[in-house]
Amino acid sequence: MKRDNSENKSLKELYRQLIIHHAKNPLNFGKLSNNPIRAEGINPLCGDKIRIYLNINEADTIEGLTFEGTGCAISIASASLMTTTLRNMKKYQANQYALNLISNLNEPKSQEAGQLMMDSQEINALEGVKDFPSRIKCATLSWQTFISALNNKKITTTEK
Amino acid sequence: MNPSFSEKNETADIGEFGLLRKDFPTINQEINEHPLVYLDSAASSQMPQQVIDEISRYQSQDHSNVHRGIHTLSHRATEVYETSRQNICEFINAKNTNEIIFTSGTTDSINLVAHSYCKPKLDPSKKILISHLEHHSNIVPWQLICEQTGASLIVAPIDNNGQIITEQLIGMIDSNVVLVAISHISNALGSVTSLNKIIDAAHQHEVPVLVDGAQAVSHMKIDIQALNADFYAFSGHKMLGPTGIGILYGKEHLLEDMPPYQGGGDMILEVKFTGTVYNDLPYKFEAGTPNISGAAGLGAAIDYLNQAGMHNIEVHENILLNKMITDLQTIDGVELIGRAENQVAVQSFTIKDIHSHDIGTILDHQGIAIRTGHHCAMPVMEFFGLPGTARASLSIYNNEEDVDRFIKGLDKVIEIFA
């Protein structure tokens, strides 16, 4: 019985309702008009592909941010959360946020259960991947692609 | 040590296959607190203890370099290596051991043929014919030499069941085709190619055929002379052997006429700066110290397969595959990808609105290992308009309980995404 509980727990942590919800109904899914900055992110190991569209206004604020592509529940949900989180941030803030998130997800799991990684409850739903090392790249792909878009790099990959 | 199904040194009764499972130490463990269900043998099969023991025995008792020393150990290492070659020769019924080249695996074997046989014959008027069903290792080597020579790579189509359209492939063969290179069994879908028809047609145009047999050798009896393929490539680690060892079978007269692929020790008779005399077959294609322990392991794997009996293996896996297909069809939202008339040991599938990686993770959590993604066959996935599939593949050590656990595991996947 104990086995089933612990098993369900980490699976439920990975596939929280919020993640499933975003995976099934991703926000800001599609192209942007007005000649946006684009970048493509590929995970060659699994074939996941994400395209990011980005508009930055004269005040250096992320005005538009959308994505499209194919991927697992984790990568789609993460991309969806990324668009809502980074929109309206200043370019440098968004860059820093994405870098922090990637490094946080790659750090070992914190001893304190449920410890917040980031300042957003929603983003912290991604924390579940820490129990699944092979899935961390699914969660970071869109954020990494966003950073490449900011740096005018057209294509990025999880394998370097 | 014989396989565990019988006290006598005879082939197994099909009902005894359950006993044989205990020969595989990797299979007998818990993964994520569940007994392992291993359904990823198409990626790499597990080794029986007999193979592991033979590798260990070679490494601890017989190791030295081959074909070099006059001392006892070198003689023993040579004997292990050449006995394995003989074993492989008999296993696929080649004419003689000159036709059996040790390589590092199927990919290496295909690259050898690409560079040594094909490339010197290619120019912009020439073509290499493959199918839409191929593994990347039977696509990219040809693309590389076509880019280098201006030759064209042409691709025979597949149908909605995931089978090569044999007549169309045959219609693409003409005298400008330098080689037809096709898989025996698709790694992504398990479809069996109609090799007899294709090889006959190619030979009528005097075009040789290379068969990528990586997915076939451990699942069916290969009689290379009856098949009449000109080249046949396969890997140790997909037939209960270790990684890093594989075979290129080639018809002797073709191999004779081919220049060496790589230069180094063992592939020469005499080296002078004015010119080098190459060694005879098969050594001409085996530059450098080979993977001797890998060859020892592969030889032991073949002994094991022989004792189980290739026919028995075929029947056993076919029963399991049919059960798996029937059971998968009972699950709402499951779509089978690849429904070839003749299918072996593999079933690809999707579940509506659930990505294959999510299926893979949730199954792994229950101790069930399957492959997910594009299976190194991106053009196949593109044909079906899919980013990837989930793929369950079978081997000698699987049983009905594995299939039951797998099917039950899928219920959990659907429950989480409900």
Quick: pLDDT tens for B359-416. Answer: 999 999 999 999 998 889 999 999 999 989 999 999 999 999 999 999 999 999 999 9
Better-predicted residue by pLDDT, A28 or A112: A28
Q: How far apart are CA B355 and CA B389, in angstroms?
A: 8
| Average pLDDT for B307-323 | 95
According to the model, what pLDDT value does residue B301 have? 98
Q: With an 8 Å Cβ cutoff, is A151 touching chain B?
A: no
Count of C-beta atoms within a 10 Å radius of residue B10: 11
Q: Is the ipTM of this complex over 0.90?
A: no
d(CA B236, CA B103): 10
Rounded to a whole number of angstroms, the distance from the CA of B372 to the nearest CA of chain A is: 8
User: pLDDT exceeding 70 applies to what percent of chain B?
Assistant: 96
pLDDT of residue B270: 86
Active site residues of B: 376
Q: Nearest residue on chain B to A134, judged by CA atoms?
A: B361
| Amino acid type, B312 | N
pLDDT tens digits, one per residue of B176-218: 999 999 999 999 999 999 999 999 999 999 999 999 999 999 9
Is B197 or A115 the better-scoring residue by pLDDT?
Answer: B197
Nearest residue, CB atoms, B416 vs list A15, A24, A49: A15
Q: Are A113 and A158 in contact (CB under 8 A)?
A: no
Give the gap in angstroms from C-alpha A5 to the nearest C-alpha of chain B: 12
Cβ-count burial of A137 within 10 angstroms (0-12 exposed, 13-18 middle, 19+ buried)?
buried
Share of chain A above pLDDT 70, in %: 88
Domain that holds residue A61: 2-157
pLDDT confidence tier of residue A114, bands split at 50, 70 and 90: low
Give the count of domains, chain A: 1
Q: How far apart are CA A107 and CA B130, in angstroms?
A: 45
B32 and A74: CB-CB below 8 Å? no
Contacting residues of B for A9, CB less than 8 Å apart: none
> How high is the pLDDT of residue B18?
75
For residue A123, pLDDT over 70 is answered with: yes
- Whether the pLDDT of residue A106 is over 60: the answer is yes
Backbone angles phi, psi at B209, to 5 degrees: -125, 130
Structural domains for chain B:
14-48+310-416 (3.90.1150.10), 53-306 (3.40.640.10)
Confidence of residue A10 (pLDDT cuts 50, 70, 90): confident
Q: Which has more pLDDT, A151 or B43? A: B43
Q: Say which residues have a Cβ less than 8 Å from residue A148's Cβ, sequence separation at least 6.
A: A39, A41, A154, A155, A156
pLDDT for B15 equals: 56
Residue B6 pLDDT more than 70? no
State pLDDT tens for residues B365-377.
999 999 998 889 9
Q: What are phi and psi of B349, to 5 degrees?
A: -160, 165
pLDDT at residue B297 tops 50: yes
B357/A49 touch (CB, cutoff 8 Å), yes or no: no
Query: Measuring CA to CA, which residue among A97, A98, A127, A96 is closest to residue A110?
Result: A127
Q: What is the torsional sign of CA B91, B94, B95, B98?
A: negative
Over chain A, what is the mean pLDDT?
Answer: 86
Cβ–Cβ below 8 Å for A15 and B374 = no
Query: How high is the mean pLDDT of chain B?
Result: 94
What pLDDT is attached to residue B36?
Answer: 98
Contact B361 A71 (CB under 8 A): no
CB count, 10 Å around CB of B21? 18
In Å, what is the CA distance from B204 to each residue of A6, B200, B249, B253, B379? 63, 6, 21, 18, 29
Whether B7 shows a pLDDT value over 60: the answer reads: no
Q: So what's the pLDDT on residue A1?
A: 36
CB contact under 8 A, A72 and B416: no
What pLDDT, on the 0 to 100 scale, is given for residue B8?
A: 46
CATH assignment at residue A40: 3.90.1010.10
For B84-93, b/e burial (b = at least 16 CB within 10 A) is bbebbbebbe
Q: pLDDT band for position A153 (50/70/90)?
A: confident
Q: Are B249 and B108 in contact (CB under 8 A)?
A: no
Chain B, nearest residue to A72 by Cα: B355
Question: Is A159's pLDDT higher than 70?
Answer: no
pLDDT of B1: 57
Residues of B with CB under 8 A from a CB of A: 32-33, 353-358, 361-362, 365-366, 372-374, 378, 381, 387-388, 416-417
pLDDT tens for residues A26-59? 999 999 988 899 999 998 777 788 999 999 999 9
Q: What confidence score (pLDDT) does residue B5 get?
A: 56
- Asked if the model's pLDDT at residue B290 lies above 80, the reply is yes
Minimal Cα distance from A11: which residue of B? B362
CB contact under 8 A, A24 and B353: yes
Q: State pLDDT tens for residues B84-140.
A: 999 999 999 999 999 999 999 999 999 999 999 999 999 999 999 999 999 999 999
pLDDT of residue B211: 98
